[in-house]
Amino acid sequence: MDLTKAVLGIELGSTRIKAVLIDENHVPVASGDFEWENQFVDGVWTYSMDAVHSGIRAAYAALVENLGQPVTTLGAIGVSAMMHGYLPFDADGKQLAEFRTWRNTITGEAAEKLTALFGFNIPQRWSIAHLYQAILNGEEHVKDIAYLTTLAGYIHWQLTGEKLMGVGEASGMFPIDSAKCDYDEGMLRKFDDLTGMDLRAILPKVLPAGVQAGTLTEAGARFIDPSGVLQAGVPVAPCEGDAGTGMTATNSVRVRTGNVSAGTSDFAMIVTDHPLGVHREIDMVTTPDGAPVAMVHCNNCTSDINAWVNLFAEFADTMGLKVGKGELFTALFRKALEGEADCGGLMSFNYFSGEGVTDLDEGRPVFARMQNANFTLANFMRTHLLSALATLKIGMDILTGCEQVQIDKLYGHGGFFKTPEVGQRMLSAAVNTPVSVMETAGEGGPYGMALLAAYMLWKDEGETLPDYLDNKVFAGAKSVTLTADSVDVAGFAAFLERYRRALPMERTATEVL
């Protein structure tokens, strides 16, 4: 194929680094991935930067192998990663502290004080919360910070030499003024007055989608492809976060559309048409083109499900049964459809880490049941699927109830929806709204990043991102829409009521285990 008309999207997710190549028709033609996992080191959830480097190269190499032809150049490249977190560097480019990911709940004091100062919710995982907490902690490295960025911002810097990022990714570092598509000036001044630190001097420059954000340097080409085949000079799009790429991949960047991304974490993104009040459970971020988005972010989704599936896989292996992991996931997810709508009296909390929505700084996975509960495999699996959505539902109720946010379309994407119908039906039962899944939803974030790079490359003059996606990408896209029946909706409501009542059990578990 003509690689000058091909676009590469790379995303560093929580459990996989994935690269996707699309053609001029926005159709994926090759992909490659690399599995990795965060580590809990000295009380901090982190990834080693060596793993970042080797993982990107492995994912890219797998893509090239699957493509079956050498890649010397490309039409454009874009990179995204899990949002938020903390990556500080000094003036010489030396990393000053371990990479602190979105999963950490160690910035409670900073988040609370900044929320009060700004009159704007600052979640614990945001970069500014991590920075202020480091200041409050008196951490020695703070005085040497010359550049503060995210994982996506770091990769973009390595590829292009440019210290900048897309507005959606930037909105997870510091509050954004959507009218100016830039950091909120008044809040910057308040932080300066509070700390004496000029954030403009250390934060990445902000760009909207569609603007070129540099070109691939020789060092950047070697960063991706040490073999020397890929050449410098490829245009690079503004890097984005996984929230923005998820919105793009599901065509959810227009006002009153929304999507739910469900994997290691899960989050709902609703593009709003009116200002919202300040809620600790609701983050205000933006689309890749700067429109305000209400975000309900939950740190925990599928990790506990994965752990149980691994246990079943070990059992199958012990019994001499040859069952592939994908086959096992599908079978167990489908079994959940046979369970009772309210899970038959079973209960689980999927908290591998702390959870801001329910005000827990730590997590402990917990499964519990009454003695007379209907303890079947179907109910067991359904319990874990509903538990993965319960905290999200608590936050969503604030949006749709308290703030009267209207949702015209809701799309699902991510590993939770990989088995047809199952996760989709569970989410519909949770939110009591039809849920659509596109045929491209399995490609997820890297596909969305590739689309943003394509928009930069091929948009018409004056063409907005929503129009580009509607008219050129998704006009003929196939999707499946499901609506949960009234029994499933009532069952989820009953499960959630028990879940709320049982929350003190989870809190106690963090104290005694």
DSSP designation for 495: H
Cα torsion through 214, 220, 221, 225, rounded to 10: -140
HSE of 49 in the Cβ direction (CA atoms, 13 Å)?
Answer: 18
- The pLDDT assigned to 441 comes to 55
Extract the tokens encoding 41: 């080191």
Say whether pTM exceeds 0.75.
Answer: yes
- Please report, in angstroms and rounded to a whole number, the separation of the first and last CA atoms in the chain: 56
Cα-Cα-Cα-Cα dihedral sign, residues 443, 444, 450, 451: positive
CA distance 337 to 421: 9
pLDDT, block means (10 residues), the chain with 513 residues: 96 94 96 94 94 97 97 98 96 97 93 96 96 98 98 98 98 95 97 98 98 98 97 98 91 91 88 86 93 92 96 97 94 98 98 91 95 97 98 92 85 88 96 86 81 97 96 89 96 98 97 96
Helix/strand number for the chain, H first, E second: 15, 22
- The pLDDT assigned to 320 comes to 96
Extract the tokens encoding 460: 């018409």
Helices (H), 258-321: 303-318
Which residue type does 454 have?
Answer: A
